[in-house]
A and B are shown apart, each in its own frame.
Chain A
Amino acid sequence: MTAPDLPAPGLPVVPRPVVSPPEPWSFPMPAEHRTANGLRVLAYDMPGQYVISVRILVPVSLAEEPPELEGVTAMVGRLLDEGTARHTPEEFAELLERNGIALGSGVSEGGLSVDLDVPKRFLGTALDLLHQALA
């Protein structure tokens, strides 16, 4: 039995809508800056967001790894959060966590990427720690 407020089969209450084509859109261009020592910085403003994502790309190709040391780039990436000249591994891990930082790394043919996510109020400290890990 069909309830009185249901339409008869075959007759939608509202006809199937037609999809309108997308308006032109392109990903915003970054602001670009070069530091005095040559580091190229691309910055994307994401209004309304609270987390800053930082990715540093180190152009070391996997093809350049010596055969007897294959995997060394990945090992470097994995060891980045295991302490610095100033901090023991446990101190460094504590500093990352107390400042809301997630630090990771990835290796591909394009190079070693070091990734950091942090709430923006901790960004200054996060960049200092990232500098310590890489320097």
Chain B
Amino acid sequence: MPLDYPIHQRTLGNGLRVVVSPDHSVPNVTVNIWVGVGSRHEVAGRTGFAHLFEHLMFQGSRHVASGEHFEALMAEGGRLNATTWFDRTNYFETVPTGALELALWLEADRHGHLLDAVNQTNLDNQRDVVKEEKRQRYDNQPYGNALTEVYAAVFPEGHPYHHPTIGSMEDLDAASVEDVHAFFRRYYGPNNTVLTLCGDVTPDAGFALVERYFGDLPPTAEPARPLHEPLGPLAEPVRLEKVEAVPNDRLHLAFRLPPDNTDEFLAASLALDVVAGLGTSRLIRRLVRQEQVAHSVHATSWGFVEGVSLGFLVIDIAPDADPSAVEDGAMAELDRFIAEGPTEAELAAALAQAERSWLSALASQEDRADALSQHELLHGDPALVNTLLDRLRAVTPAEVTAAAGRWLRPESRAVVAYLAADEEAVA
């Protein structure tokens, strides 16, 4: 049965898609904005730009001083941030109901009139902030660049998902004020944006307020480029081994998956859950509980919109265990799953855990707002949040087996192996 979160939609004359989902249990409102630009839109030589740009959105706009967006909302008890991902950029705040108009005014100013405030000084400042973020979160962390290497191994050179959102130091250095202007003009504008209000607001009041603050912005974003051709599974295994100063050997076993919001993607993600994503999954039973050759096994499925998605297993190898033997064991389990499919109990467990996980996410007003923006921007229908579980439950065991047989074959894997360097050699 579908969930019944209330969802009201309207599109303004300038193309801004507005979603309002009232919830009066607490007197605050989440404003969640998704802009249809992410790292998949970046071109060679300018990787990391969507994320750098997101930082500049906090450095002032026509009527807002640098840093004022954060200060003004935090002074009202708001909490706020922004994130950049492959498919989109996301700006959000949760504020007491009485500060909703201020939040909308601040957002409209930067989403409409950012460029008045962009200059070489704040570009240089935020470039340094982002480069420091890259050092802290990627370059100076054990395994910190592993996922970057996974993307490069799974998707071909020049593909939209080949590079990470953080970009490269060289490309960040190369970004100019002219790039910022061109990027804003091309991608930012109400006609490439979804704005969700979730919380203590009625649909009528919400639509009227968004019209008041955003209605005058011109539809400046340029039409989207055509989507990249869909990709099938990797034709042959790809392998990268690195010996580094890491605490233990770690294997990343990655696969291309079908595009997001397709029944085949749901089936493939259920297959990954049964193989490695649950406490009772096959790899955890075998590698962690029985053979004790791994500390942990995790599975992740990330749905992307541009013709292909990404799934991967992460296996932390126990001391003295042989990583290649562990990999062989994992591949044997994948082969067995493809041959046998899920048991009734395994599929029931994967569905029950997906149910709790999705319902827990929606329980949070902020996450619910985010899910509504996501499904409107990327899939054109926020009401998908109410029917996702029904679509998952409709997936048959045969579809799960077939998705695994097409996308999760050992010969279609990309392996990024981090092997712990001998301690003396590192020292």
Residues of chain A touching chain B, judged by Cβ–Cβ distance below 8 Å, are: 3, 5-7, 9-10, 12-14, 16-17, 19-23, 25, 46-51, 89-90, 93-94, 96-102, 117-119, 122
Contact = CB atoms under 8 A, between A and B. Distances in A.
A99 B363 CA distance: 18
A117 B3 CA distance: 18
Contact of B349 (A3, A94, A117): A94
A25 B353 contact: no
Interface string B207-226: 00000110010100000000
B421 interface: no
B315 to A, nearest CB: 19
Contacts of A7: 216
B218 A119 contact: no
Q: B interface, how many residues as a size bin?
A: 35 or more
Interface stretch (B91-99, B257-265, B406-414): B91-99
B355 A119 contact: yes
Given A9-B62, A49-B363, A51-B360, A98 B352 contact: yes
Given A3-B218, A12-B62, A16-B105, 10 more contacts: A14-B212, A16-B63, A16-B102, A17-B102, A19-B76, A48-B23, A49-B363, A50-B363, A51-B360, A102-B360
A51 B63 contact: no
11 contacts: A3-B218, A5-B216, A46-B25, A47-B25, A48-B5, A89-B289, A93-B280, A94-B280, A97-B352, A100-B352, A117-B356
A14 B213 contact: yes
B205 interface: no
Given A5-B218, A14-B105, A97 B363 contact: no
B45 to A, nearest CB: 29
Interface of B: 3, 5, 23, 25-27, 62-63, 76, 96-99, 101-102, 105, 108-109, 113, 116, 212-213, 216, 218, 278-280, 285, 289, 345, 348-349, 352-353, 355-356, 359-360, 362-363
Given A118-B356, A119-B355, A17 B101 contact: yes
7 tightest A-B CB contacts, nearest first:
A100-B352, A20-B98, A17-B101, A97-B349, A100-B356, A50-B359, A13-B216
Given A6-B218, A14-B213, A17-B105, A94 B345 contact: yes
Given A16-B105, A50-B3, A90-B289, A22 B98 contact: yes
Contacts of A93: 279-280
B280 A97 contact: yes
B359 A51 contact: yes
A82 to B, nearest CB: 10
Contacts of B278: 97
A93 B349 CA distance: 10
